[in-house]
Amino acid sequence: MKVSVDLCLVPLGVGVSLAPYVAMCHEVIESSGLEHQLGPDGTAIEGDWDAVFACVKACHVRLHAEGVQRLHASLRVNTRIDRVQSFRDKVESVRRLAP
């Protein structure tokens, strides 16, 4: 099954700047080969269910391996079986309707 997720992974107890940790997680996502788009408050990732959730797990594993003791994740999950629609398609359909 195809899935689209919006992942926000927040390391706790690491100080104010999260950019280094976001960059580490982004490396994991990039290496997965999954379609993705970095946003200001999360990353959209889409692909096969098992591959996407393996990627989410790999992000946790990587940050814990870098010494992060605790992570808080917010994950929004979207599946659709009536047609194929990427997250980019969804954004474009809204842009077409916007004045």
Confidence class for position 90, pLDDT limits 50, 70, 90? confident
| Residues sharing a CB contact under 8 Å with residue 46, sequence separation 6 or more, in sequence order | 2, 3, 4, 5, 34, 35, 36, 52, 86, 87
User: Rounded to the nearest 10 degrees, how much is the dihedral formed by the CA atoms of 88, 98, 7, 80?
Assistant: -60
**What is the tens place of the pLDDT at every residue in 27-47?**
999 999 999 999 999 999 999
Q: What is the DSSP string of the chain?
A: -EEEEEEEEEEESS-S--HHHHHHHHHHHHHHT-EEEEETTEEEEEEEHHHHHHHHHHHHHHHHHTT--EEEEEEEEE--SSS---HHHHHHHHHHH--
pLDDT at 91: 87
CA distance 21 to 61: 12
**What is the tens place of the pLDDT at every residue in 15-30?**
999 999 999 999 999 9
Range of the structural domain that residue 28 is part of = 2-97
Number of domains in the chain: 1
CATH of the domain at 47: 3.30.70.930
